[in-house]
Structure formats: structure tokens, C-alpha cells
């Protein structure tokens, strides 16, 4: 919601009026000099939208504000041009509306367009969110990252490395939405106050690493050549893509990282296909390159890669993980009931590479149980179990 600066205003004053943390207001107005506001300048207030309201018989601004639990002054701020002592029946004014509900609807077939729509809805209500693109897919889609906060503990979460595991994306988006609601409404999540996390952490999310693959699973082949026919060849002539994990070129993005890639290559298919083909060389695919570049740039303290399924969490790689990995995964297990597994015979995954090159905690979290793609009927149960893991990723 936008308001217009008046004589004597300050961001601190807005913070008090709207009960929104000062830091959230600062971070929603990065281009603004907090100590040099100018009259008439536009300021964004996170967590609110301005709703139109038509004046009825007997209304006063004071009554309207009172009914909405807002100071009268907030009405004047969003309606700089009205005369408060002379409002007329039928006149339309703006009323600040505090957002206390989710904008993301996770329980749906969550394709790339749904992601983009939800991101822009969140961005407009929570302008302190930063949404850089980390690169483009084979089909030219931007891969968005969502960044919350500026603290020193840099925690990264990603989903949908594997196309038919797309339910991981709405799970992550729902967590982001709940986190934003908690920050702007001062609601604790599971007893944890999140404003402390906002101060201490930079949260990085790439909710959909493989948008081309997700759309292939949900909508079938793309309309244009050459991938419209190639993916069907790679899929052995079938138009059922429910078993597809790879990107649009038939490369498994989670077999693309330079962490004993040759070993993974040797035990896997040597042709493009729905799953497990690691490519001609490590980091040949734009989606994997984008993730590797992001990870090098950001210096993450820890990473959590969300996959389906099995309710297990992989936390080791070649004994290169630090001791704290085990402490953290033990807490993940306590809050979710998921089982920690140190290693399996598997290489070249994103978390493997992170552990190997940074010697910091990296996890692959296999959420839910059943056959991929997991049915949306599991959404709420999966969310309840993984919510604890998201939060433990922050406080551990
Ligand atoms: Zn997976």
C-alpha cells in the first residue's frame, strides 16, 4: 500500500501507526533516504492494501477507522486529498486493509504461471521481498529467486529440481507466505517469533529450479520445435510425462553437479530421458548452471533441497559434511518425524556438491510418501511436517 509523506512524518511514525516493524518499512523503500523524507513522496507500507470504500449515511472517518482497528491518521495518509470534516454519502475513499490471510493457494496443480502470479502478488503486498532472476531455462523462462531479510545467516531452500516433484514448489511458497504473514502481523509460528529471524537471516528460496520440466509434467510437451517432439522420443513414445524428472533436454538436473559426477554417470543411463541422465558433462544445463552460480555468489551458510518422496533426509556426502550437519538433521527429524539417512550410493547432486565444496551443512529432504507426482490430497499433511524443518533451518 502506498502512502504520501506529509509535513513532519517519519518512517518511525509509520511503523508505530501501522504496527509494522521499522526494518520491514525500511526494506520496502530501499530507494528512500529514511532521514530525508520529502513532502509528497510515496512510501510503501508492507502487509497492507488500500481498499475502496463508499461512504454511507452516518459515517465519519473516525468511525470507519475505529471499525477497522486503525488510528484515524492512517485514513488521512491514504486519502491525502479529502477533507475529513466534509465527507459525503456516496463518496469513495481508500481504507487500509491489513492482510492476515494467505495469498498463495498451494493446494493446486502448481505450474510455472501459477508461481509467477503468486510471486507478483506477494511482491506487491510485501515489497521488502527481493525477486532477482537467477537465469533462464532451456525454453527461456526466468528462474526466480525470492530473498527475505539481510542478516548474516544465509539459509537457502529450493524445490522442483525434479519435474514430477513439483508439489515441493507450493510447499515452499506456502511457507514463504506464512513467514511473511508472521512478520507483518507479529504472529508467532509454532511459538517462534519470526522478527528475530528477519534480523539475523537472509532467506533465499528458489521454489522452482526446473520450470520447463514442471510444465511438461503438468501440461504435456511445449508447442514449439524441437522439444515438442524430442521429449516424446526421450519418453519412449509416451505422452504420459508423470514419471519425468529431467529438464526439457532430458537431463536430470540433480545429477549435474561436479561432485563425483563420473561415478553417477557410470551407473546411470547414457542417453537423454525422463530421469537419471547426468548430461555430457557436469553443469551443461542452464538451470544447473544458474543454481551453481547463485550458490557461489551467495555464500550460503546451509542449503535445503526439497524433493519427494520417502520422508527421509540425506545429510552426508563422502564424510565431508561438518559435525553440525548431524545435530541439525536430528532436530529436523524431531520436528517432522522424517528419518535421517547419512548417505546412499548417489553422487553429483546439488547438496553433494555444496557439502563437498563448502564443507557446510547441506540436506536433501524427501517430503511425503507415495508415488510421484504425489497427490495434492497430501498437501496439508506434508506442509504440517515440513513446516518444522523450514523453521529449524532458521533457528538451528
Ligand atoms: Zn528428486
* β-bridge pairing 153-158 and 201-206: parallel
User: Half-sphere exposure of residue 324, counting CA atoms within 13 Å on the CB side?
Assistant: 9
Which pLDDT band holds residue 84 (cuts at 50, 70, 90)?
A: confident
Q: What mean pLDDT comes out for the span 62-86?
A: 92
Radius of gyration of the chain (CA): 24
Dihedral angle, C-alpha 247, 252, 256, 260, nearest 10 °: 180
Model pLDDT, residue 20: 98
- Distance of alpha carbon 123 from alpha carbon 305, whole angstroms: 23
* Residue 147: exposure state from Cβ atoms within 10 A (0-12, 13-18, ≥19): middle
pLDDT (tens digit per residue) in 105-149: 999 999 999 999 999 999 999 999 999 999 999 999 999 999 999
Q: What mean pLDDT comes out for the span 358-374?
A: 97
CA 247 – ligand 1 centroid, Å? 12
CA 260 – ligand 1 centroid, Å? 18
CA 163 – ligand 1 centroid, Å? 8
Model pLDDT, residue 384: 97
pLDDT (tens digit per residue) in 271-318: 999 999 999 999 999 999 999 999 999 999 999 999 999 999 999 999
Catalytic (active-site) positions: 347, 366
Model pLDDT, residue 338: 98
Q: Is the peptide bond before 309 cis (omega within 30 degrees of 0)?
A: yes
CA 278 – ligand 1 centroid, Å? 13
In this predicted structure, the answer to whether residue 57 has a pLDDT above a threshold of 90 is yes
**Residue written as grid cell 527481493:** 130
CA 385 – ligand 1 centroid, Å? 18
CA 165 – ligand 1 centroid, Å? 6
Dump strand ranges (E) for 121-208: 133-136, 142-144, 146-148, 153-158, 201-206
CA 307 – ligand 1 centroid, Å? 4
Amino acid at each position: 500500500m502506498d502512502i504520501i509523506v506529509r509535513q513532519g512524518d517519519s518512517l518511525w511514525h509509520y511503523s508505530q501507526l501501522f504496527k509494522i516493524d521499522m526494518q520491514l518499512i525500511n526494506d520496502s523503500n530501499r530507494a528512500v533516504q529514511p532521514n530525508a523524507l520529502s513532502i509528497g513522496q510515496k512510501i510503501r507500507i508492507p502487509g497492507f492494501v488500500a481498499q475502496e470504500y463508499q461512504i454511507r449515511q452516518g459515517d465519519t472517518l473516525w468511525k470507519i477507522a475505529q471499525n477497522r482497528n486503525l488510528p484515524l491518521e492512517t485514513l488521512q495518509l491514504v486519502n491525502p486529498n479529502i477533507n475529513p470534516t466534509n465527507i459525503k454519502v456516496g463518496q469513495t475513499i481508500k481504507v487500509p486493509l491489513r492482510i492476515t490471510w494467505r495469498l498463495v493457494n498451494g493446494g493446486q496443480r502448481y505450474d510455472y504461471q501459477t508461481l509467477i502470479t503468486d510471486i507478483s502478488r506477494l511482491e506487491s503486498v510485501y515489497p521488502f521481498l527481493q525477486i532477482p532472476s537467477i537465469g533462464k531455462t532451456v525454453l527461456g523462462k526466468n528462474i526466480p529467486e525470492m530473498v527475505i531479510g539481510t542478516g548474516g545467516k544465509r539459509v537457502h531452500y529450493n524445490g522442483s529440481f525434479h519435474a514430477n516433484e513439483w508439489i515441493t514448489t507450493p510447499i515452499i511458497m506456502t511457507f514463504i507466505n506464512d513467514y511473511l504473514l508472521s512478520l507483518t502481523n507479529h504472529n508467532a509460528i509454532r511459538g517462534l517469533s519470526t522478527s528475530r529471524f528477519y534480523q539475523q537471516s537472509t532467506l533465499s528460496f528458489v521454489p522452482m529450479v526446473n520450470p520447463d520440466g514442471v510444465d511438461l509434467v503438468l501440461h504435456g510437451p511445449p508447442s514449439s520445435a524441437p522439444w515438442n517432439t524430442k521429449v516424446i522420443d526421450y519418453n519412449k513414445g509416451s505422452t504420459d510425462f508423470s514419471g519425468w524428472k529431467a529438464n526439457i533436454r532430458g537431463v536430470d538436473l540433480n545429477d549435474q553437479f561436479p561432485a563425483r559426477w563420473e561415478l553417477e554417470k557410470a551407473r546411470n543411463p547414457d542417453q537423454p530421458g525422463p530421469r537419471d541422465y547426468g548430461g555430457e558433462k557436469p553443469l551443461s544445463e542452464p538451470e544447473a548452471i544458474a543454481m551453481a552460480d547463485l550458490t557461489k555468489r551467495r555464500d550460503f551458510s546451509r542449503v535445503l533441497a526439497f524433493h519427494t518422496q520417502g520422508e527421509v533426509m540425506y545429510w552426508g556426502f563422502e564424510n565431508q559434511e561438518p559435525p553440525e550437519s548431524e545435530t541439525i538433521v536430528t532436530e529436523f527429524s524431531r520436528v517432522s518425524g522424517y528419518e535421517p539417512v547419512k548417505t546412499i550410493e548417489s553422487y553429483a547432486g546439488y547438496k553433494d556438491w555444496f557439502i563437498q565444496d563448502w564443507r557446510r551443512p547441506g540436506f536433501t529432504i524427501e517430503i511425503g510418501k507415495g508415488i510421484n507426482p504425489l497427490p495434492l490430497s497430501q498437501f496439508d499433511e506434508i506442509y504440517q511436517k515440513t513446516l518444522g524443518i523450514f523453521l529449524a533451518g532458521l533457528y538451528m
